[in-house]
Chains A and B, each alone.
Chain A
Amino acid sequence: MNRDELLAAWLDGELEDDARAKLAAHLDSDAEFADSGAQQLLARRILNSLQISEDEFADEVLLSISDRLQNEISAAAEPKRKIIPFPARAQFQWLASAAAVILLLVGIWQFWPSSGNGETFVSIVRVEGTDLKVGERKGRGPVEFGDGMVRILFDSGVEVTLQGPAEFELVEDDRMILSAGLLTANVPPGAEGFRVDTPTAQVTDLGTAFGIHLGDDGASHVSVFDGEVEVEEPHSGITKMLTEGEEVVVTSNQKLESVSLDLTPYEKMWPVSTGIKGSTGSFELAPPWPRRMPLLTSDEHVFVAPDGYRKSLEEPLKVNVSKPGAVAVPDDLSPKQIPAGTPLRSYILHYRPEIEAPRRFPIRLTGSITFDQPIAGVIVLNPEFAESAGRFSKRKTGEMHPRRELELVDDSKGDRVELSADMRTLTVDLAGSRKAFDVIRVVVDASAPSK
């Protein structure tokens, strides 16, 4: 291939590694050729935007603004969630510290599981390798466990997953203290202001998903996966706002330092945190960050990621599959309308092949994913996907595009899904052609389990 053919092939995602190196050498040595390549790249990017309809651009912006306004109004109407701005918070630091000591002493005296006034505000949702029981209700007081993991659900809707050995204390339905271990928190809209105190930091959520791990040296590492949090070093009152993809360390000598985001500490707990029990075959759990699914490409994996946060449906939700069994053709579908008020978690299953690497041989992607709560429904067709867009999060997943739906044709190019009898496992068998950019939405029951 000459250099123009190399460039043309690269722009169409048809160039393999060795040829790409040749093209890079040409571009590096000839500025004029590089300029023509840059123009071609610009043309490709502008043309790529043709696949997204912009007719509703302004409507979507206005909708996002309305949602945020609504959240701000809800937060303002809930005085106990109001975030006290620095320096007002610093002025009352001594009071907060004293209160924390008193709470700790009271908690120790009362000894878990008895709570101060008998009021409970937390449900145990999932347990892995600890003595805590799923469905148990907890109130104010300290908790500790050795190796293992536990996911808890505050009545406010905040979900917290802890990895042991862990020591923590439940204070109120918008506050807890972490003394040892790792923690991730998912704070849905309306529950902003949730706060976690560590030995060196106060972490206040502003509508987000974040993680905290405590180092052996006493430092608190705070990582943000989505949204924003405020981190405060309580002695100096120094605060820092973190947005997604950022991490800070608050050291035991009262320093607050920005560091590169490190997701490694959360790898083990991520499935528990997201409500996934296990997976086989082609499934790969998307990392906690970035949460923009279109960034995740792979020829061999179907990525799965939570879409937004646990929420109760404001309006009914139409799904295509709601009963156990295999779905290979449209007649196999079991459409249903899930009623308003149902608490759900939504997940996006996403297959997007690499654009750079050509596929010589078509493959199929097969695998199963099991959730820790029953699946309430699966969306595989475009009309229902389009209706569900933006209902769990504002992030774009490509679901609006008609070509992202599954192809329910009973031949080698068709896609298949199957729901298990206990409704907890979804098995997929997808045709892995280059055109396939398949997106599936799975909604899972998110009501607090009973004992």
Chain B
Amino acid sequence: MSDSLPSDLSAIRQIVEEHQSAIRAFVSARLDDPFEAHDLAQEVFLIMWKQLDQLDLDQPLRPWLLGVANNLVRKHRRKSRAVPVGGNDEVLNLLDGRSEKIAEATLDGPVFDALDSCLAELGDDARKLVQMRYVDGLDIREIRSQIGGKHSAMTMKLHRLRALLFNCIQGKLKGAPAA
């Protein structure tokens, strides 16, 4: 780190606030568990704090933070394989590598801002469905017990919504200035 970087906590807060969205998006796109992703994103900034004196602040910080995040994700995946319960999933193994390449190519930018904006564009029913499934954590059966509908129709509705939101996020990011 150059001498020009103040190491007080207010300066660190500024760095965290500037980069947290990009780091959270990077980690969240690579891990299934949002709690793990949250922890790992925080760990990136703790590592930054520990290594402040080795950072060259004349260089952009974002690539360095993303590199740390990438290392943490890989390390986490290696360790997660040893989890004795919960197991691994062949489907997940087939999709993980591809999803990482797509994330690298298309999810560069303010992903969560784009998500908020895309959610706001949804109709009330669709937004309520996303809320029930992903914020409240209800499963399909529970959602059906509240709003009715066939099981398969509900899973396909969510399927289409995910595709719609992904395309919308991609579109917003293409038009957005780099975060």
Contacts and interface: CB of A to CB of B under 8 A. Distances in A.
B90 interface: yes
Interface in A7-29: 7-15, 20-21, 23-24, 27-28
A37 B137 CA distance: 21
Contacts of B137: 51, 401, 403, 435, 437
A62 B16 contact: yes
A156 interface: no
Contacts of B42: 57, 60-61, 64
A58 B13 contact: yes
A206 B130 CA distance: 44
Given A61-B45, A295-B83, A48 B89 contact: no
A396 B35 contact: yes
A20 B159 contact: no
A297 interface: yes
Contact of B159 (A7, A65, A68, A395): A7
Interface stretch (A126-134, A286-294, A374-382, A423-431): A286-294
B135 A42 contact: no
Given A12-B158, A28-B94, A37-B95, A65 B39 contact: no
Contacts of A403: 136-137
B82 A57 contact: no
Interface string B141-153: 1100000000010
Interface string A49-75: 111101001101110111010000000
A45 B91 contact: no
Interface residues of B, number: 69
A27 B98 CA distance: 11
B85 interface: yes
B115 interface: yes
Contact of A35 (B98, B107, B158): B98
B29 A245 contact: no
B102 interface: yes
B84 A47 contact: no
B91 A24 contact: yes
B139 A13 contact: yes
Nearest to A245: B79
Contacts of A57: 16, 20, 24, 38, 41-42
Contacts of A40: 159, 162-163, 166
Contacts of B140: 12, 14
A356 B139 CA distance: 11
B107 A42 contact: yes
Contacts of B155: 5, 8-9, 12, 14
Interface in B83-138: 83-86, 89-92, 94-96, 98-99, 101-103, 107, 111-112, 115, 130, 133-138
Contact of A290 (B16, B46, B83, B141): B83
B39 A396 contact: yes
Given A57-B16, A57-B20, A435-B138, A20 B90 contact: yes
Contacts of B152: 1, 5
A287 B84 CA distance: 9
A290 B34 CA distance: 16
B165 A47 contact: yes
Given A42-B102, A52-B38, A64-B46, A261 B82 contact: yes
Interface string B5-21: 00001001100110010
Contacts of B65: none
Contacts of A47: 115, 130, 133-134, 162, 165
Given A12-B140, A14-B155, A58 B17 contact: yes
Nearest to A64: B46
A11 B162 contact: yes
A34 B101 CA distance: 12
Nearest to B50: A68
A176 interface: no
Given A41-B95, A395-B39, A296 B86 contact: yes
Given A57-B16, A61-B16, A62-B12, A24 B94 contact: yes
B49 A52 contact: no
19 contacts: A1-B152, A12-B155, A20-B91, A37-B94, A41-B99, A42-B103, A43-B169, A47-B115, A49-B112, A50-B115, A54-B20, A54-B24, A61-B12, A245-B82, A287-B84, A297-B86, A298-B85, A354-B86, A403-B136
Q: Which 9 A-B pairs have the closest CB atoms?
A: A8-B159, A38-B98, A43-B162, A38-B99, A43-B166, A434-B139, A47-B134, A294-B35, A8-B155
